[in-house]
């Protein structure tokens, strides 16, 4: 009788490229390595290449340094995605991984998914099943295509599982794992409370300011939209801390937009300072996907400056409100959400998503290797 040799380790390439993915990797990478059977190689596409949007997260959150940095960034969606596919294919052929792991819905995610699926590599998608139902969003295309080529889909909520089933993706390949960002917030919230001095540096008082981020093309590349959003936020009854994305800073200069003295312009901060700012603000205003959830996990109400969201369950429970860029809606939402004392809790698992995913992925890689 011939006995098959049992594998003692599996090589997984994790592809990241943007801030939300660095945060998620801070939860999952330690759990993957803790299995003692998964050798993880982190590949950074370079999609976010600015220090304030990239390097600081690896240092601050103790994420292993990327083995490879493709240095792709600064082009159009098509240019970046094409260059990433080419670069990632070379990396996959060189390192011969047993599996590829991707997060979320960025161009880096789509590029890795295409490269991995064409090479027949086992593909795992963390944060699967999200839908904004707006195909004009590049992220929507990225997440839909990635879900349909993935071998295992780790959904953050029961709602995400339901959306996948409506598209014919169901069964054992779909796992309601909870949200790894919940793991990260739980891990770093006390650290932020005890070690961050960002409130003192910016002369802020708890619950005495609003927190704003803007970066999406449709919001910051149109001077009329950018001006009207900042004008209405600038007359709020309390000051606003505006964390200015590099793209947005460029547009503010290009359009020569002057902001209200009640809006404090601040360069992007690291994760620890960001958590501290969210913990102590009155309300979050953002067009970011990840920040909507971070606000929820930290019990702060959120106003989303978009007409849709992939986190529809947060709108359903009243923790989040969609206002687009309509000044009247923004003004009313700020007034109503500032007075919201607490938000509902418990949609995205129990805070153990990383361990659940790492153990499940290891089991699947063992089975895949036997075929």
pLDDT digits (tens, 9 = 90+) for 152-209: 999 999 999 999 999 999 999 999 999 999 999 999 999 999 999 999 999 999 999 9
Element (H, E) at 36: none
pLDDT-derived band at 310, boundaries 50, 70, 90: very high
Exposed e or buried b for every residue in 47-64, given b needs 16+ CB within 10 A? bbbeebbbbbbbebbebe
Residue 344: band (very low, low, confident or very high) from pLDDT cuts 50, 70, 90: confident
* Residue 341: predicted pLDDT: 66
| Residue 54 confidence (pLDDT) | 57
Q: Which residues contact 303 (CB under 8 A, 6 or more apart)?
A: 283, 284, 285, 286, 320, 321, 323, 330, 333, 334, 337
Does residue 95 have an active-site annotation?
no
Q: Length of the chain, please?
A: 371
Average pLDDT along the chain: 92
- pLDDT tier at 1, thresholds 50, 70, 90: very low
Residue in the block written with tokens 């000044």: 327
Hey, what domains does the chain have and what are their CATH numbers?
Answer: 10-179+350-370 (3.40.50.2000), 194-338 (3.40.50.2000)
Q: State pLDDT tens for residues 257-279.
A: 999 999 999 999 989 999 999 99
Specify the DSSP element, H or E, that contains 316: helix 312-316
Of the pLDDT bands very low, low, confident and very high (cuts 50, 70, 90), residue 81 is: very high
| Non-local CB neighbours of 312 within 8 Å, separated by 6+ positions | 159
Q: Decide if 144 contacts 47 (C-beta within 8 A).
A: no
pLDDT tens-digit readout, 203-250: 999 999 999 999 999 999 999 999 999 999 999 889 999 999 988 999
Q: Which two tokens stand for residue 352?
A: 């153990």
Helix, strand, or coil (residue 142): helix
pLDDT range class, residue 3, cuts 50, 70, 90: very low
CA distance 223 to 216: 13
- Identify the pLDDT of residue 368: 82
Work out the average pLDDT over 126-144: 94
- Does residue 103 surpass a pLDDT of 90? yes
| CB neighbour list of residue 368: distance below 8 Å, 6 or more residues apart | 98, 99, 122, 151
User: Cα torsion for 48, 147, 43, 367, to the nearest 10°?
Assistant: 160
- pLDDT tens readout for residues 5-63: 578 899 999 999 988 898 899 999 999 999 999 999 999 998 765 545 557 777 787 78
In the structure, what pLDDT confidence band is assigned to residue 371 with cuts at 50, 70 and 90? low
| List of residues 6+ apart from 276 with CB closer than 8 A | 192, 193, 196, 198, 199
Marked catalytic residue, from 159, 215, 245, 254: 215
């Amino acid at each position: 009788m011939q006995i098959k040799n049992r594998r003692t380790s599996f090589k997984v390439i994790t592809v990241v490229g943007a801030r939300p993915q660095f945060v998620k990797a801070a939860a999952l990478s330690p759990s993957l390595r803790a299995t003692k059977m998964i050798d993880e190689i982190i590949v950074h596409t370079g999609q976010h290449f600015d220090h304030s949007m990239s390097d600081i997260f690896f240092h601050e959150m103790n994420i292993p340094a990327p083995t490879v940095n493709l240095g792709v960034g600064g082009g159009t969606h098509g240019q970046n995605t094409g260059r990433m596919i080419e670069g990632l294919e070379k990396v996959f052929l060189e390192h011969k991984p047993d599996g590829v792991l991707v997060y979320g819905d960025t161009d880096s995610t789509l590029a890795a998914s295409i490269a991995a699926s064409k090479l027949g590599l086992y593909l795992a998608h963390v944060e699967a099943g999200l839908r904004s139902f707006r195909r004009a969003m590049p992220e929507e295309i990225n997440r839909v295509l990635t879900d349909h080529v993935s071998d295992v889909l780790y959904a953050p909520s029961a709602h995400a599982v339901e959306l996948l089933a409506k598209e014919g993706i169901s069964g054992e390949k779909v796992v309601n794992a909870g949200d790894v960002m919940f793991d990260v917030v739980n891990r770093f919230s006390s650290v932020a409370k005890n070690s961050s001095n960002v409130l003192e540096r910016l002369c802020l008082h708890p619950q005495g300011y609003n927190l704003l981020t803007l970066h999406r093309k449709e919001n910051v590349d149109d001077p009329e939209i950018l001006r009207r959003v900042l004008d209405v936020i600038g007359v709020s009854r309390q000051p606003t801390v505006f964390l200015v994305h590099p793209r947005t800073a460029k547009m503010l200069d290009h359009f020569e937009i002057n902001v209200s003295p009640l809006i404090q312009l601040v360069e992007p901060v690291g994760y620890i300072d960001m958590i501290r700012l969210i913990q102590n603000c009155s309300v979050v205003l953002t067009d970011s996907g990840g920040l909507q959830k971070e606000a929820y996990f930290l019990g702060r109400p959120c106003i989303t400056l978009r007409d849709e969201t992939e986190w529809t369950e947060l709108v359903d429970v009243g923790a989040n409100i969609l206002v687009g860029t309509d000044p009247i809606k923004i003004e009313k939402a700020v007034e109503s959400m500032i007075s919201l004392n607490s938000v509902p809790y418990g949609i995205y698992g129990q805070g153990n998503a990383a361990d659940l995913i790492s153990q499940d992925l290891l089991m699947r890689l063992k089975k895949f290797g036997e075929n």
